[in-house]
Amino acid sequence: MRVGAIVLPEHGWARTRETWRRLEEMGLDHAWTFDHHSWRDLRDSPWYDAISTLTAVAATTGTIRIGTMVSTPNFRHPAVLAKQVMTLDEISGGRFVLGIGAGALGADSGLLGGPELSPATRADRFAEFVELSDRLLRSPATTFSGSFYEVVDARMVPGCVQRPRVPFAIAATGARGLDLVATHARTWVTIGDARRPGERTDTESRQVLRRQLSLLAEACEKRNRELGSVGKLVNLSRAFEAPFASPARFADLLGTCAELGFTDVVVNHPRPSGVFAGDVTAFERAVLSTR
């Protein structure tokens, strides 16, 4: 089981650098940051750009894989994002993973103006975003005209370090999103029940995750893809309560997720108060007990 952490991009560079270096020292397999322009109750608090932050992190770490959790069509354009991703892949020495999601309603979804999109239209946009990103990152030159995006002779030279392109980690639970996972992703990402993150009992969460894994299996079968070729990542901080309350609790959840069929877990790096509040020492003790 690979273990990772999510660090919110809310601190200045000195503290951010220290946190990410510590995660690498702890032997974590991967670490991620939220990619929002601003986020929920922290909208009026310090919040930095994910791509810029990860570029600096890439230059000051050497082994840990890094990624966005997740980039979305809400305010990212595939052509601009693809160039940033290619650059990040180079600076990190091929350690970058592009996490992608449809994007939730909220401040980010209204940032660039325009009407609120229906769920069906958002799903259409998500599909075009993923498919165009795939095309951009594989090709030295791309021209494209779709329902949501137009790209004219976008050049991607020299291309990604990782071939044929940077791997995608796609967050999805519905049929259309899981089809994108089966078609384009190296890793599938879930937080369990997105409507009640962290509120379900362990038994309920296991049932939710088992159903989602079954739907992923169906999507892979339709695309003639081996289910075992898809990494399966769950955010323990959203799917379960108090994942690092103790080393025993953390180990038990890792065992549960492995038994269900997950290959990766992440937990949110604890904050002093508010969302994801917790004790850093308890977090490190729990994680290190599995290293």
Q: Domains of the chain: which residue ranges?
A: 2-288
CB 173 within 8 A of CB 101: no
User: What is the pTM (predicted TM-score) of this model?
Assistant: 0.96
SS3 276: coil
Angle, alpha carbons 134-62-130 (nearest 5°): 10
The pLDDT, as a whole number, for residue 234 is 98
The pLDDT, as a whole number, for residue 197 is 73
Could you say which residues of the chain have pLDDT below 70?
A: none
Please report where in the chains the tokens 């995660």 appear, as a residue: 23
The pLDDT, as a whole number, for residue 194 is 81
Taking the C-alpha atoms of residue 214 and residue 93, their distance in angstroms, rounded to an integer, is 35
Taking the C-alpha atoms of residue 127 and residue 117, their distance in angstroms, rounded to an integer, is 14
Question: How would you label 27-55 residue by residue, b for 16+ Cβ within 10 Å and e otherwise?
Answer: ebbbbbbbbbeebeebeeeebbebbebbb
The pLDDT, as a whole number, for residue 243 is 95
**Nearest 5°: phi and psi at 38?**
-155, 165
CB 186 within 8 A of CB 163: no
Domain at 2-288, CATH homologous superfamily: Luciferase-like domain (3.20.20.30)
The pLDDT, as a whole number, for residue 27 is 97
